[in-house]
Amino acid sequence: MLKWIQVLWPSFLVAAVAEAIFFTVIDPQELYLFGQPVHYGPLATYSIGFLGFWLVCAASSLSTVFLQRGADELNRRH
């Protein structure tokens, strides 16, 4: 549970900041997805954008948590 929070919470905060900055600068209607203009509604684009940012940030947090394991943890026999 603690690991989940350590991964999901900081990434949520950073994703919120990233979302705000990204979509302030870029109009979602000007985005292209696989060469096609984005045809989702703006609200969907914002939402998918946020969840995407969250996912990317969570991946980063997950790697941090993963790489932070000490030798004891890695050597432990199960």
CA–CA separation, 57 vs 7, rounded Å?
Answer: 9
Q: How far is the CB of 2 from other proteins (least distance, A)?
A: 7
Site for other proteins, residues 13 to 52, rule: CB under 8 A = 13, 24-25, 27, 41-44, 46-47
Which one, 13 or 59, has the nearer CB to other proteins? 13
**Residues 6+ away with beta carbon under 8 Å from 58:** 7, 8, 11
The Cβ of residue 8 has, within 10 Å, a number of other Cβ atoms equal to 15
Which one, 35 or 70, has the nearer CB to other proteins? 70
Residues making contact with other proteins (CB under 8 A): 2, 5, 9, 13, 24-25, 27, 41-44, 46-47, 70, 72-73
